[in-house]
Amino acid sequence: MPQDEKNSQPQKRRGRPPKQQQTPGGQNGGQKNGQTNNQNSGPKNSVKIQDATVPAAAAQNRQSTPAKRSKPSRQRQTEPLRVAFMGGLNEVGKNMTLYEFKGERIAVDCGLAFPDQDMPGVDLVIPDFTYLEENYESIRGVVITHGHEDHIGALPYLLKRVNVPVYSAKLTLGLIRGKLKEHKLLDKTKLIEIKPGDTIELGGFHVEAIHVNHSIPDSLALAITCGAGTVVQTGDFKIDTTPIDGDMIDFSSFARYGKKGVLALLSDSTNAERPGYTMSEHKVGESFDTLFRRAGNRRLLVATFSSNVHRVQQIIEVAYQLGRKVALLGRSLENVVSVGMELGYLRVPEGLLISIDMIHRYTPEQVVIITTGSQGEPMSALTRMAFSDHRKVEIGPQDCVIISATPIPGNEKTVGRVINELLKLGAQVVYEKMYDVHVSGHACQEELKILMGLVRPKYFIPVHGEQKHLVKHAALAQSMGIHPHNIMIADNGVQLELSHGEMKVGEQVQAGPVFVDGYGVGDVGSTVLRDRKHLAQDGIIIVAVSIDRVSGKILSGPDIVSKGFVYVKESGDLMQEARETAIRCIEDCRGRSRRDWNTMRGRLREDISRLMYERTRRSPIVVPMLLEG
């Protein structure tokens, strides 16, 4: 395992802007006194993007322009900063942004998304890394804002193809190490720890880490400075005045950059539709205390996101106060708790945690089980318990289940089904709409406006969200005085060119979803998914027949096999008609060209398909199997 150097940290530069100069150090860039854990390694035209017509360039906006700055040099006017969106736009998850200036590139985040119902058999969805692989020599590093899966989950798949250094905070790197160890990449990867206030130099980029509040510790925003100006990317954030870890969002750093002048702001749009402010995480702790006391003699099960370290900490604290033991259920949850305890982000009293195998030694009122599955994932612990399919935990009337999460868009039905099944088993179920058992980790409208007011960007680009979130966030920016011509709603694959004179759409880059299915990465494409959905909807018919290679006569068969189409024993007449149709088709083809097997297969597929549609109004996949005898 790589070892961190203990004798240095990245140098802090709070009093003045970083120098605009090329940093020596070759492909991987550099960091002043940085830690490493492995030594080896204009025109007013419009552009229509995703059904939204958005100005590509704009005039100077006095309301959104910060204090007077010196006139930019001719070089700065002719050298734009290019920002390419590899994921995270018009979708929830898969966040990744690529910055390029003077031929050097850095990436921010490398996340995954989880498959929806239109992706049968797919395990994960990751960004397309082709463009990064083609420009491997110019990439100076990847900077990660925080440790959620939609920001770190695809990192191992990138590092298998492009071995570049990774920069992030302590907890985030701890979670990344676990992933890299699984993929046997840990010893090959250069991981560099940074802290809020640190500035790292990656080629011609100077990146300052800024502390923000989110639902996981060590969350960062980034101020990315190059010769074209400064871009602030917020990452996921909210404004919590009473955070669990005691550290509020660093308003002063945002204001400092706003005073100097910010070229563009890329801001989290997840909660752009919600008015007001996001509640503090402390509100959930109060709800847990109330609900745990009301549970009385019931056993408690709390489902939450495995990476929500603050939520887990509050559950542990309330359980300890009430004299209950805590058991963990779910591999990802166990990993996060282990890393959190090891790095000091989780404070767990000695003897409080017990193995899930030991819960039967205690009475129901002595136990709290923290579990995964708050989104109704089919293979999660909570779902298996709800359908009485878990080997170690059986749900019954003695249980109180608290679902401490809000369904991600698209998961409402699966979560509702899990709740219904739990209720059928007699359990008491508490979920987000009933009590304050969940608060978001993302900023609502008033918080988004506060940040815009501090940063005062010339250009505004909403990120991290579906189209409705991006459009709403853009409207908020306009209400804050940012001219519509200075606001861009982009899409994955769009590359923007930013300079002091204009913001315009540049050359498109290759960016799209890549599906991970088991060990296969990218081998499941649109054609395979279409076939899978076809199979799921209509099933398959296999026509197997053995034919003499010389005479072309049928030696055996045809045998008709139905899978997912009709029940053969109850559809004898249809199967017999299919056999007769297959025989006529083969005899007809034999009389014309006995050796043209492709023609025979095509005719069989066409004739059987027509028959099945006429009889059932369904279109199963027909697979002819011709065997030479």
Which range, of 360-364, 448-452, 517-521, averages the lowest pLDDT? 517-521
The confidence band for 20, taking pLDDT boundaries of 50, 70 and 90, is very low
pLDDT value of position 283: 85
* Annotated catalytic residue, options 128, 240, 268, 491: 268
Whole-angstrom distance, CA of residue 17 vs CA of residue 225: 9
Residue 242 has pLDDT above 80, yes or no: yes
pLDDT digits (tens, 9 = 90+) for 157-198: 999 999 999 999 999 999 999 999 999 999 999 999 999 999
pLDDT band at 115 (very low <50, low <70, confident <90, very high): confident
Q: What average pLDDT does this structure show over 313-337?
A: 93
Distances (CA, A) of 316 to 89, 298, 369, 437, 483: 36, 17, 10, 15, 48
Chain mean position to CA 9: 30
Question: Does the structure show a pLDDT above 70 at 73?
Answer: no
The lowest-confidence range among 99-103, 265-269, 608-612 is 608-612
Query: Confidence band (pLDDT; 50, 70, 90) for 583?
Result: confident
**Is 268 an annotated catalytic residue?**
yes
Higher pLDDT pick, 187 / 37: 187
Catalytic residue among 151, 214, 438, 442: 442
Q: What pLDDT does 120 receive? A: 65
Question: In which band, very low, low, confident or very high, does the pLDDT at 43 lie, cut at 50, 70 and 90?
Answer: very low
Its pTM stands at: 0.76
Q: What is the per-residue pLDDT for 418?
A: 92
* Mean pLDDT in residue range 493-510: 93
> What distance lies between CA 458 and its chain's CA centroid?
29
Output the pLDDT for position 434: 66
CA distances from residue 119 to 87, 358, 406, 531 in whole angstroms, order as listed = 18, 38, 22, 11
pLDDT digits (tens, 9 = 90+) for 541-579: 888 888 877 777 777 778 888 887 776 666 778 888 888
Q: Are strands 104-108 and 139-143 parallel, antiparallel or unpaired?
A: parallel
Phi, psi (deg, nearest 5) at residue 233: -115, 120
pLDDT of residue 59: 33
483 noted as active-site residue = no
Mean pLDDT of the chain: 83
Which pLDDT belongs to residue 570? Answer: 67
pLDDT band for 522, please (50, 70, 90 cuts). Answer: low
Residue 624 and residue 343: Cα distance in Å, rounded?
59
Closest CA to 501 of 67, 65, 99, 206: 65
Per-residue b or e along 205-241, where b marks 16 or more CB atoms closer than 10 Å to that residue's CB: bbbbbbbbbbbbbbbbbbbbbbbbbbbbbbbbbbbbe
